[in-house]
Structure 1
C-alpha cells in the first residue's frame, strides 16, 4: 500500500504508472463479523457500543469484475447506516449479503462471514474491470452509494426503482471504510478539486439523499419561495437540506435542539429557527404511546408566527416516529411531506384527517439515482453547496466515530482518514478553496 500512497501523494503520477502499480493481496478494512450478530442481545439500543462490534483488520482483496473499479480510499465518513450495521439493527446486514450472494456467481463474492462497511469515499482509481472506459487509473474520485444491476426495465426510468437496487457498503460488501474499496464504475464522480480528501468524502450519502428528497422532481420538487420545515437542520442530512433551501430561493424553517445548532443554521443564512429543547414541544406522552395534538397546534402556531402567517409547503422528514404526526399536521393544504430514514422509529403515526381532507402528499425518498447524485456533487464542486464536516478520526478510531453518531454527540458529518496520513491533503484548486474557507469550515470543532 505504501507504493500506492506515495503515488497519490506525489500528485502528478501518470495514469500508466498508476495502472502498473502492484495490488496487494489484502488490505486494511473496518468490518463486522457474522458470528457476533447476537452480541448485543437484550441490550437497549442506546447502550449498544459500536466500539465492540467494529473491527479494523486485514481482509483479502476481492476479485474485480466487469464494470467495476478498485479505488484507493484516502478518506471516508460515518453515516447512520454504519451505526445500524454496527449494532445489528433493525436487522443484521448479513441477510442483505446472503440475498445478494444468491443473485449470481459474481455477486456471491459479497456473501462472506465479515462485512466491510462504509458508504462514502474519496480516493483514486487504481484499476478497472472489463467494459469500463470512462475512468482511468489515477483519476481522483468520490463515490455515491447506489449499487444497481439494471437488468430489469423498472430501473431504466429511475435507477432507484431497479429491483436489485442496493446501498453500497450497507447492503453490499467491500465498502468505503477501508484502504481499498470495490465499486461499480457508475458510482464514480469527480472529486471536487478545492476540497481535502476528508472534506470531499463527507457529503456523499447525505448530500445526494438531501438533493433527491428536497430538490428533485422525484422528491419535494422545491421551488423558489417555498417554506421548508427542516428537522435536525444542522445535522448530517439537515445541514444539506438547509443549504439547498437557501441556495434554491426557498425559506427554511430550521428545527434544532440547542443554541449551538441554531447558531450553525444562522451562519448558513437561515433566519427562522425553532429550538425544540428551549420551547419544550412534547408530541408524545411519557410512555410514547399517544400523541398530543395540542402540541402539534402549538408547533404550527409557532411556524406561522415566524413565517408571517404562512404554513409549510414541504417538510423535510427524517426523524420518523417522534415527529411525523406533527409534520403532517403543520403542512399546508396541498403540501408535501418527504420522508426517509426514520432515525427515531419506523412505525409512524399521524391523524389521516389532516392528510386526506387537505390533499397533502407523503413522498418516500431513498438515496438518489446517478443523475441526482452527479448534480449534487456538481454543486459541491462549484462551491454552491459545502461539506458539513465537523471532526475527523483515524481508521483505527472508527468505533469511537460511530459511537459519536450513534449518541448524536456530533454536528454535521464525522469523517474518517483511511490511507490519508493526515488531514488537509488533496487540495488541487487552492484559489477556489480560499474563496469558500468560511463555509467549508463552518461545522469544524462544533
Structure 2
C-alpha cells in the first residue's frame, strides 16, 4: 500500500486522527500544463483548442510546506473557466503568472516551475500545517477558497481583494486543487459543509464566492429586496448561484439561458421570468465589428414584458464582449452593471450615452475576499444555497471535463474526483441532507 493509499484509507475509515502520524508522500498525481507545450495551439481559433491535448495527469514532487500554509489531501475538485483558459494558454500562458510570483521571495520561487498544477477548488482533509498556523490541524475536513494574498502592504487590509499581491490559487499560483494533494495558505481554508459529499462540497467554492461578492456584497451590486436582476447564463456555473442569491434575497431574477433544458433548470431553482435567447433569436452583433442597437431594444422590451414594465436594477454580467452592449442598454436609469470574467471576449463595446446620460454604474468584481468567501460557504453549510453539480469525472478525464466547460456542453458545475474512489462519500449530516436532497440534486443528469 502506498503512502497516498494509507492516507485515503484513513479518511475513508474516518480515522482522521491518524493522519498526523502518517508520512506525507514525496510525490502525488496532479493535473498539469507544461511550459514546453504553450505553442501547441498557435494558429487555431479559441473554440478549436482542445484541453484534452494540453492537460496531463503527471506525478509531481510534493512542495515544501512554508509558514502559514497547509497541505491538503484532496478528495474532490471542480472545473472553472480559469482552468479552460489555462489549458488553451489564453489570454496568456499561466507560466507568466508563476514567473512573476516567483520573483517575490524564496518561498514563492517554489511556484515558478516548468509545469503548472491547476485547479481552484477542493474539498479534502488537512494533512500538515506550517509554522504559525493555529486555527487548523491535521484531520480536519475542509474546503478552500482560491484567494491567495500576501498582505505585506496597506492596500489589502480594508478589502483583501485589493492587495497588491492578490492572486487566484491554481491559476496564478501553482499546486492547485486538481490533484491528490494541494498546497494552500491556511487562510484559504473553510469548514466542509457536513451534509454534502466530497464532490458536492468541492464544486461551489470559486463560483459561489464570486457570485456572492458580485451580487450580494457591498463591494458588488449590494442587492436588496425587490431588485430586478438580469442574470446572463443563469443555469451555468456563476449564474446558477446568482439566481439562488437573487431568490434568497427577495429579488426578482430575469434568467437568460440558451435552451429549454436550461430554462427548466432555472424553474427548478424557483425562477419564473426566463428568456431563452436562442429561441428569441437575439443577435446583438451585425458582424464582427458592429453591434445592432435594435436588438438591444428588442431585448429590453422582452425584459419589460416579463417584469410588468420594469428595467433591471442590476445586470449580472460575465459573458463580456457578446452581451455587454445589451447589458448597458438594458439596465434601468441609475442601475448597476456588475461584471466579472469575459468568457466571450475581453474587449467590451457599449454606447456610452446610455451609461452617462442615465447615471448607470459599471462595477468590476473579481472573486471575493476571505470574509465574503466564508459567508458564502456558511450559506452552503446551512442549506440556504445549494451546490449545482451536474456531473463528476475522474482525475484522468479532467481534459474532457474542461472541454465540456469550454464548449458550454455542461450545466452548473462539473466535478472531478481526486482521492475519493467514487461519488457519494463524505456526508456527515444525513438529516440536513435529507431535508435538501431535491435541491442538492437539481442539476444532476442535466
TM superposition score normalised by structure 1: 0.99
The answer to whether structure 1 residue 316 and structure 2 residue 316 are counterparts is yes
The answer to whether structure 1 residue 13 and structure 2 residue 24 are counterparts is no
**Residue segments in structure 1 that go unaligned for 5+ positions in a row:** none
Farther off after superposition, 288-297 or 171-180? 288-297
Q: Partners in 2 of 1:30 and 1:398 — Cα distance?
A: 8
Q: Partners in 2 of 1:255 and 1:11 — Cα distance?
A: 43
Q: Partners in 1 of 2:41 and 2:441 — Cα distance?
A: 37
Within 5 Å, give how 1:51-90 maps onto structure 2: 51-90=52-91
Q: Partners in 1 of 2:352 and 2:407 — Cα distance?
A: 32
What is the deviation of 1:57? 1.1
Query: Residue in 2 aligned with 1:402?
Result: 402
Within 5 Å, give how 1:227-266 maps onto structure 2: 227-266=228-267
Provide, for residues 63-89 of structure 1, a one-character-per-residue CA deviation record: whole Å limited to 9, x for no partner.
000000000000000000000000000
TM superposition score normalised by structure 2: 0.99
Contact 2:389 / 2:413 at 8 angstroms: preserved in 1? Answer: yes
Provide, for residues 89-123 of structure 1, a one-character-per-residue CA deviation record: whole Å limited to 9, x for no partner.
01000000000000000000000000000000000
Within 5 Å, give how 1:185-200 maps onto structure 2: 185-200=186-201
Query: Residue in 2 aligned with 1:340?
Result: 340
Secondary structure of the corresponding residue to residue 141 of structure 1:
strand
Q: Partners in 2 of 1:178 and 1:119 — Cα distance?
A: 11
Provide, for residues 159-191 of structure 1, a one-character-per-residue CA deviation record: whole Å limited to 9, x for no partner.
000000000000000000000000000000000
Query: Residue in 1 aligned with 2:41?
Result: 40
Query: Residue in 2 aligned with 1:157?
Result: 158
Query: Residue in 2 aligned with 1:269?
Result: 270
Contact 2:392 / 2:415 at 8 angstroms: preserved in 1? Answer: yes
The answer to whether structure 1 residue 379 and structure 2 residue 379 are counterparts is yes
Q: Partners in 2 of 1:23 and 1:12 — Cα distance?
A: 16
The answer to whether structure 1 residue 22 and structure 2 residue 56 are counterparts is no
RMSD: 0.5
What is the deviation of 1:43? 1.0
Q: Partners in 2 of 1:13 and 1:69 — Cα distance?
A: 16
Query: Residue in 2 aligned with 1:424?
Result: 424
What is the deviation of 1:13? 2.9
Q: Partners in 2 of 1:175 and 1:184 — Cα distance?
A: 11
Query: Residue in 1 aligned with 2:436?
Result: 436
Q: Partners in 2 of 1:13 and 1:438 — Cα distance?
A: 30
What is the deviation of 1:12? 4.0
What is the deviation of 1:206? 0.4
Secondary structure of the corresponding residue to residue 77 of structure 2:
strand
Within 5 Å, give how 1:211-222 maps onto structure 2: 211-222=212-223
Provide, for residues 224-273 of structure 1, a one-character-per-residue CA deviation record: whole Å limited to 9, x for no partner.
00000000000000000000000000000000000000000011110000
Contact 2:73 / 2:181 at 8 angstroms: preserved in 1? Answer: yes
Query: Residue in 2 aligned with 1:354?
Result: 354
Contact 2:54 / 2:88 at 8 angstroms: preserved in 1? Answer: yes
Query: Residue in 2 aligned with 1:294?
Result: 294
Q: Partners in 1 of 2:87 and 2:342 — Cα distance?
A: 17
What is the deviation of 1:11? 1.5
Query: Residue in 1 aligned with 2:185?
Result: 184
Contact 2:142 / 2:189 at 8 angstroms: preserved in 1? Answer: yes
Secondary structure of the corresponding residue to residue 184 of structure 2:
strand
**Residue segments in structure 2 that go unaligned for 5+ positions in a row:** none
Q: Partners in 1 of 2:366 and 2:325 — Cα distance?
A: 20
Q: Partners in 2 of 1:89 and 1:12 — Cα distance?
A: 43
Secondary structure of the corresponding residue to residue 396 of structure 1:
helix
Secondary structure of the corresponding residue to residue 347 of structure 2:
coil
Size of the aligned set, in residue pairs, is 443
The answer to whether structure 1 residue 303 and structure 2 residue 306 are counterparts is no
Q: Partners in 2 of 1:349 and 1:44 — Cα distance?
A: 21
Provide, for residues 346-398 of structure 1, a one-character-per-residue CA deviation record: whole Å limited to 9, x for no partner.
00000000000111000000000000000000000000000000000000111
Contact 2:16 / 2:140 at 8 angstroms: preserved in 1? Answer: no
Query: Residue in 1 aligned with 2:103?
Result: 102
Contact 2:153 / 2:164 at 8 angstroms: preserved in 1? Answer: yes
Structure 1 segments (4+ residues) deviating >2 Å = none
Q: Partners in 1 of 2:337 and 2:430 — Cα distance?
A: 40
Provide, for residues 300-345 of structure 1, a one-character-per-residue CA deviation record: whole Å limited to 9, x for no partner.
1111111011110000000000000010001011110000101000
